[in-house]
Chains A and B, each alone.
Chain A
Amino acid sequence: MKRTKRRYLALEIDSKANFQPKILIDAIWSSILKLYGEYGASQTSLSLIDYNLEEKQVIIRTNLSALNIVRTSLVTITSIAENRVALHVLSISGTIKALKEKIKM
C-alpha cells in the first residue's frame, strides 16, 4: 500500500485573545467544513501536533493532497469565539524536525 504523504504547517495566531487548543482546531475544522463540506474535510486528516500558547504558534498536520484545502480554509478564518483573529502560515515542511528548525519553535 502506498504511504500517505503528509505536510506539517506552522501557524501564527494573530489575535489579542488566547485560545484553548480544542477551540482553535474546532475553528479550523469548522472553516474547512463551511468551504469544502464533509467530503472535503474527510480528505484532510487534520490534526493538531503542537501548540505554543506563549508564542502563539501552532503546528498542524494534513495530507499533502489536501494541503490547498487547508491553506484556503485557514485564510478564511476571521474570528474564533467572537474574537477577531488571523492565522498566518509561517512555514510548511514534510517533517516536524525540519519545520521546527525553520521556525525555531
Chain B
Amino acid sequence: MKRQFADLHLILKSNKIDENIQLIKKIKFLGYNLLGFSSNNSLDKHSINLLRDLCKNLEIDYISRIDLSPKTRNELKIKLRKVRRKYEIVCVKCKTKEIARQAAQDRRVDLINFPSLSFRNRFFDRNEAELVSNNLTAFEIDAKPLLVLYGSLRAKIISLLRRETVIANDFHVPIVLSSGISESILLRKPREIAALMFLLDMDQTSALDTISTNPNTIVLRNREKLKSSFVAPGIRIIKEGDC
C-alpha cells in the first residue's frame, strides 16, 4: 500500500497569509497528504479557516494541532483539560524536567517536543522514555535544526538526537519526524526529510515510518476518540434507543 506522508508541524506566520498559502501549496506539490500546523500561534480564526478550506481544495488532510508550553505541572493539567476534546493533536513543548515528566505520564498528550537549541533542556532520557512507553505518546523530532545549523552546533544536535533515538527504540516509543519549518525554500520531499534519519543511524523503513505510519496512527486514533460514538478504547455506540 502506498505510504501517506504527514508533516505535523508546519509553522505559519501571522499576517502573512500569501506566504502561508504558498507554503501549503508547496506541501501538496512535494507529496504530503496530511498537514498539521499549530493553531495557537498568532493566527486569527479567519486565517485558520481560510487555510483549512485551501487544504480541503488541494485534497490535503488538515489536522488541528495545538502546542502547549506550560510553566508548571498544574498549568499543563488545566490546559489539557481545556483542549483535549477540541484538537486532534496535542503537543507539549517540554522546557523543564517537571513538565517533561508530567507530559510523559499523561495519556492526553500525543507528542512531546523538546527545545532544539537549548541542549541542556532536552530531558528525553531513559526515565522519560519509560514513562512515555506506558502511554501512547510519541517523541517528536523537528528537522529544521538539521537543515539550518552547521558546524559544531549541528554535530551536537545530531549526537543528542542519535542518543535519544536509541533510547526511544529501546522503550518502543514511536518517533514522529516533523519539519518545524516556516519558509517554503526549506521544505523537502517526504523521502528527503526521512533521509535525514540516516544521520541518526535509522534504517530506511523506520525512517519512512516516522513521517508516515507513526503520525497517521496517532491521527486515526484521535479522530476515532473525538467521534461522538466513542465511549472508551474498543467500545463505541452503534445504535441508540430502547433495548
Interface residues of A (CB under 8 A from B): 14-15, 34-35, 68-69, 71-72, 74-76, 78, 84-86, 88-89
Q: Is B146 an interface residue (CB 8 A)?
A: yes
Given contacts A71-B195, A75-B195, contact A88 B185 (CB under 8 A): no
Does B188 lie at the interface of the complex (its beta carbon under 8 Å from any beta carbon of A)?
Answer: yes
**Which residues in chain B, 164-194, are within 8 Å of chain A measured between CB atoms?**
185-189, 191-193
- Residues of B within 8 Å of A85, CB to CB, are 185
**Contact A89:B191 (CB < 8 A) given known A72-B196, A76-B146:** yes
CB under 8 Å from chain A, chain B span 149-164: 150-151
Residues on A with C-beta less than 8 A from B150 are 34
Q: How far is the CA of A85 from the CA of B147 in the complex (A)?
A: 12
Q: Which residue of B lies closest to A35 (CB)?
A: B199
> Does B235 lie at the interface of the complex (its beta carbon under 8 Å from any beta carbon of A)?
no
Report the Cα distance A34→B149, complex, angstroms. Answer: 11
* CB–CB A78/B185 < 8 A: yes
Q: Does B119 sit within 8 A of A, measured CB to CB?
A: no
In the complex, the number of residue pairs spanning A and B with C-beta atoms less than 8 Å apart equals 44
Asked if A72 contacts B147 (CB within 8 A), the reply is: no
Min CB–CB distance B188 → chain A (angstroms): 6
CA distance A76 to B188 in the complex (A): 10
A35 to B187, CA, bound (A): 19
CA separation between A54 and B186, bound complex, in Å?
A: 22
A36 → chain B closest CB, angstroms: 9
Q: Please tell me if the beta carbons of A75 and B188 are within 8 angstroms of each other in the complex.
A: yes
Distance between A46 CB and nearest chain B CB, rounded to angstroms: 16
Closest 5 CB pairs of A and B: A71-B195, A68-B198, A84-B185, A75-B192, A72-B195
The B interface, classified by DSSP as helix, strand, loop or mixed, is: helix
Assembly CA distance A76 to B150 (angstroms): 9
| B residues near A89, Cβ cutoff 8 Å | 189, 191-192
Complex Cα–Cα for A14 and B30 (A): 12
Q: How far is the CA of A85 from the CA of B184 in the complex (A)?
A: 10
Residues of B within 8 A of A35 (CB): 199
Interface core residue of A34, A72, A75 (most chain B CB under 10 Å)? A75
Alpha-carbon distance between A44 and B219 when the two chains are bound, in angstroms: 39
- Pair B185/A75 contact, Cβ less than 8 Å: no
List the A side residues contacting B189 at CB < 8 Å: 88-89
Give every chain B residue within 8 A of A74 (Cβ-Cβ).
192, 195
Given A76-B146, A78-B147, A86-B186, output 11 extra A-B contacts at Cβ < 8 Å.
Answer: A34-B151, A68-B195, A71-B192, A71-B195, A75-B193, A75-B195, A78-B185, A85-B185, A86-B185, A86-B187, A89-B192
Of B147, B148, B151, B192, which is within 8 A of A88 by CB?
A: B192
Across the interface, A78 reaches (CB within 8 A) one of B148, B191, B192, B193, namely: B148
Closest to A85 in B: B185
Q: List 28 A-B contacts (CB under 8 A).
A: A14-B185, A15-B185, A34-B150, A35-B199, A68-B195, A71-B192, A71-B195, A71-B198, A72-B195, A72-B198, A74-B192, A74-B195, A75-B147, A75-B188, A75-B192, A75-B193, A75-B196, A76-B147, A78-B147, A84-B185, A85-B185, A86-B185, A86-B186, A88-B188, A88-B189, A88-B192, A89-B189, A89-B192
